Amino acid sequence: MELCPTIKNILLLDSEGKRIAVKYYSDDWPTNAAKEAFEKAVFTKTQKTNARTEAEITMFDNYIVVYKFVQDLHFFVTGGENENEIILATVLQGFFDAVGLLLRGTEDKKEALENLDLILLCLDEIVDGSIILETDANVIAGKVDSHSMDAGAPLSEQTITQALATAREHLTRSLLK
């Protein structure tokens, strides 16, 4: 019986290996100390590689880790040893590109920390309970933007997608009354 591809974790670390945003979907690391030890070990193993232009893949502690760096941000997606590397790389690229869209091309630690809420929403849109939901960066960024926009803003100041989301919310509320 074939199973859906699953993700063990998605990590966004800074250039020193410290957490910016992480999400674990597996009990393989039961404690926070175990999670931090894994993050440090993965960072140490990958920090000397040149994964700035395209994603790199490595095997680490019986996990497949796909990673990519931009400025002082290090993106990692981890899957089990039997997962398809191309699927993991697609998840990584979707996360990487969505963060780039949400940060408007200013991908650095300061900007990431200022927009941490958007990055965490981004993680929620990509994977839920280790199951991959979405890998298209435009769709992910669009959903995150619709969650974060001010629903009280005048329709003239909203994008079409945001205006449709607002109209859908108003219609849903009126039907539920």
- SS3 annotation, the chain: CCCCCECCEEEEEECCCCEEEEEECCCCCCCHHHHHHHHHHHHHHHCCCCCCCCCEEEEECCEEEEEEEECCEEEEEEEECCCCHHHHHHHHHHHHHHHHHHCCCCCCHHHHHHCHHHHHHHHHHHEECCEECCCCHHHHHHHHHHHHCCCCCCHHHCCHHHHHHHHHHHHHHHHHC
Please give the share of the chain, as a percent, with pLDDT higher than 70. Answer: 89
Domain of 25 in residue numbering reads as 7-176
CATH label of the domain that carries residue 147: 3.30.450.60
Note whether residue 1 is domain-resident: no
Number of structural domains the chain divides into: 1
Note whether residue 2 is domain-resident: no
Note whether residue 99 is domain-resident: yes
**Average pLDDT of the chain, as a whole number:** 82
Note whether residue 104 is domain-resident: yes
Q: Give the model's pLDDT for residue 75.
A: 93
Q: What is the pTM of this model?
A: 0.77
Please give the share of the chain, as a percent, with pLDDT higher than 90. Answer: 23
Q: Give the model's pLDDT for residue 55.
A: 84
Least confident of 19-28, 46-55, 58-67, 162-171: 162-171
